[in-house]
Amino acid sequence: MRTLFAVACIGLCLTACGSGSNPVAFRALSASTVRADSLGAHPKRLTFALAGLIESPKTVTITDTAGIGSSFHVIVQDPTQVGVAAPVVKSATMATATFYPISRGTTSGSTAVKIVDGSGTAATIRVTQAPCGRPDNLMHADLIYPRIGERGVSPSLGVMFFAVYTMAAPRDGRVFLHVIVGTHGTLEGGSLVKAPPPPGAVIPTPPSGHFVTTYMRASVPKLPAKTKIGTQLYDDNCQPPVLGGGIQTS
């Protein structure tokens, strides 16, 4: 899961209903749409000290004494460094957002996340993470269903299948799917479990090397329409993820 955030560079942004149970939609925000950072955020800076341990996600509390919005846009400056779940409204003045670290491996990293409510009021959270050099098990992955590069994929496909290449056989629930939506959006898929390739899957030629090949699937939340979708898999957020390939929705 990564210099300063510039509003003028905003691309596709995550819009999610505050309950967290409604479908996720995406739309573009113009620079004039986002006002100054006047939402409260605690903490305003997150550090993932990944070296030597697998760190849990962190929660940021968003507040507005005038009343929190019922919908939010989440703009991740570099979505290859951190994933952010849709904010969930907890009260009339407070919401929470969960941040998921995505390692850069042996180098440190930093990025910014801007959370904007429905009125255009914003908060910016800075995210940094330490390097990690622990040996990795996950070496490579290929999206096999839908096929890599496939266009016109239903936003409601609900599941993706991968060929996963590791040094030792992976355990169910220990490999995770991070979804990159457009340029600045992220979603978190489910953990992967072993599953046979479905009809229509394209079985790739394994990469060179002495790897264990395992076919696995992960659930995927509803995706935005007419959007490029990228995938990353990770089994240890102290290690860099591997790219699984991408698709485009209908």
Residue 125's CATH number: 2.60.40.10
CA distances to 31, 145, 178, 220, 221 from 157, rounded to whole Å, are 32, 10, 16, 8, 9
pLDDT class of 5 with cuts at 50, 70, 90? very low
Q: What is the pLDDT of residue 50?
A: 66
Q: Is 144 found in the same domain as 118? A: no
Q: Is 121 found in the same domain as 31? A: yes
Residue 114 lies in a domain: yes
Q: Is 224 found in the same domain as 111? A: no
94, 60 Cβ separation under 8 angstroms: no
Longest dimension (CA), the chain: 59
71, 18 Cβ separation under 8 angstroms: yes
- Residue 186 has φ and ψ, to the nearest 5°, of -135, 150
- Which of 98, 129, 160 marks a domain boundary? 129
pLDDT class of 24 with cuts at 50, 70, 90? very low
Q: What separation, in Å, do the N-terminal and C-terminal C-alpha atoms of the chain show?
A: 26
Q: Is 44 found in the same domain as 109? A: yes
- List the Cα angle 136/163/157 in 5-degree steps: 120
Mean per-residue pLDDT, 205-231: 93
Q: Is 230 found in the same domain as 179? A: yes
Q: Is 165 found in the same domain as 122? A: no
- Measure CA 216 to chain center: 19
Whether the model pTM is above 0.85: no
Query: What pairing do the DSSP bridges indicate for beta strands 58-63 and 71-76?
Result: unpaired
**Alpha-carbon gap, residue 83 to 141, rounded angstroms:** 19
Domain count, the chain: 2
- Which of 81, 97, 129 marks a domain boundary? 129
Q: Is 70 found in the same domain as 35? A: yes
Q: Is 168 found in the same domain as 151? A: yes
Q: Which amino acid is at 6?
A: A
Read off the tokens for 6.
């510039």
Residue 167 lies in a domain: yes
Nearest alpha carbon to residue 126 among 69, 158, 78: 78
* Structure confidence by residue, pLDDT tens digits, 90-143: 999 999 999 988 877 677 889 999 999 888 889 999 999 877 766 678 889 999
Nearest alpha carbon to residue 7 among 121, 178, 88: 121
- Which of 105, 129, 153 marks a domain boundary? 129
Q: Is 118 found in the same domain as 25? A: yes
Q: Is 125 found in the same domain as 144? A: no
Residue 1 lies in a domain: no
Q: What is the pLDDT of residue 11?
A: 31
Mean per-residue pLDDT, 203-228: 92
Q: Is 143 found in the same domain as 56? A: no
CA distances to 61, 160, 195, 216 from 172, rounded to whole Å, are 32, 15, 10, 9
| Domain that includes residue 11, residue range | 7-129
Q: Is 181 found in the same domain as 81? A: no
